[in-house]
Chain A
Amino acid sequence: MSEFFAMGGYALYVWGSYGMALLCILVELISLRK
């Protein structure tokens, strides 16, 4: 499991990408709720 999250040493880059995508989607969805 921890090996999965380590992404072969590229954790910052991989999760930084997917994290930002998730954040953008959340911001967009919340802004539309209002």
Chain B
Amino acid sequence: MLFKFASPQTFFPLAGKMIPWFGALAAVLALAGLYVAFLVAPTDATQGEAYRIIFIHVPAAWMSMFLYLVMAGWAGTGLALNTRLSGMMASAIAPTGAMFTFLALWTGSLWGKPTWGTWWVWDARLTSELILLFLYLGFIALKASIEDPVRADRAGAILALVGAVNVPIIYFSVQWWNTLHQGASVSLTRSPSMAMTMLAGMLLMALAAWTYSIAVILARLRTIIRERERDMEWLREAMA
């Protein structure tokens, strides 16, 4: 079953059917999330209204790390098993991952200015997140610079896998080093250190970011498949 959909031929139409569903789901979740974030969640006692930035900052930061691991996972699968779709999947993920990384940095900076009094500090959390952005951009640039797609997939996979060590560094940086950035407020093992409505807003926004990512990545994957397999008979039939 899994292997059946692991080929571009079978995945292409399936992805096409999934995109509108995930896109609609993302829109509904984002609207619900924004409603909770702005109209339900109370004003924070210490940070005032500025804290409402976290409803976009935290989901963006989660996605930036998670998408990198998924991208590296697909790239590694392609490297190990030589599956055609894997490298395309990794390429499809990279721009969305870079977008969320940029948003995490941008919103973090806009949150830091009123709360910490500075746009930027070179502390472990912020620096490792910036490195993540460079890893995404490096991955995209490296793949774009190599003509042969098979060689591009291989070179990209090595970069993606080596760079994956940065993700646990980002995640644990607030514990390993003394940083300005606060520790995690949401954890699976203990109750969250924030109001329930704040948590609900954040989770809704995180789910919106997830479903949005799936829709956008599948759409980009279809573009990449169309490009790479343009000489294949099956694609001509699928497009007809």
Whether B56 and A13, one on each chain, are in contact in the complex, defined by CB atoms closer than 8 angstroms, is no
Whether B49 and A29, one on each chain, are in contact in the complex, defined by CB atoms closer than 8 angstroms, is no
List 15 extra interface pairs beyond A10-B50, A13-B110, A28-B95, CB under 8 A. A7-B52, A8-B48, A10-B114, A12-B110, A13-B50, A14-B49, A14-B53, A14-B110, A17-B57, A20-B107, A21-B56, A21-B103, A21-B107, A24-B102, A28-B99
CA distance A14 to B48 in the complex (A): 11
* Selected contact of A13 from candidates B95, B113, B223, CB within 8 Å: B113
CA distance A7 to B96 in the complex (A): 29
Whether A28 and B111, one on each chain, are in contact in the complex, defined by CB atoms closer than 8 angstroms, is no
Chain A residues bordering chain B, tally (CB within 8 A): 18
Answer whether A20 and B48 are a contact pair too, CB < 8 Å, given A13-B113, A13-B114, A29-B216: no
Any A CB within 8 A of the CB of B219: yes
Give the residues in chain A near B50, CB-CB below 8 Å.
7-8, 10, 13-14
Interface residues of B (CB under 8 A from A): 38, 43, 48-50, 52-53, 56-57, 60, 95-96, 99, 102-103, 106-107, 110-111, 113-114, 212, 216, 219-220, 223
**Nearest CB in chain A to that of B102: its residue:** A24
Give the residues in chain A near B43, CB-CB below 8 Å.
8
Whether A17 and B113, one on each chain, are in contact in the complex, defined by CB atoms closer than 8 angstroms, is no
Whether A21 and B60, one on each chain, are in contact in the complex, defined by CB atoms closer than 8 angstroms, is yes
Answer whether A20 and B103 are a contact pair too, CB < 8 Å, given A7-B52, A14-B50: yes
Whether A32 and B48, one on each chain, are in contact in the complex, defined by CB atoms closer than 8 angstroms, is no
**Nearest CB in chain B to that of A20: its residue:** B106
**Nearest CB in chain B to that of A15: its residue:** B110
Answer whether A25 and B48 are a contact pair too, CB < 8 Å, given A8-B43, A13-B114, A14-B53: no
For window 1-28 of A, CB contacts with B under 8 Å fall at: 4, 7-10, 12-14, 16-18, 20-21, 24-25, 28
Whether A13 and B111, one on each chain, are in contact in the complex, defined by CB atoms closer than 8 angstroms, is yes
- A/B interface sample: 16 pairs, CB < 8 A: A7-B49, A7-B50, A8-B49, A9-B48, A9-B49, A10-B48, A13-B50, A13-B53, A13-B110, A14-B49, A17-B107, A17-B110, A20-B103, A20-B107, A24-B103, A32-B216
Whether B107 and A10, one on each chain, are in contact in the complex, defined by CB atoms closer than 8 angstroms, is no
**Nearest CB in chain B to that of A8: its residue:** B49
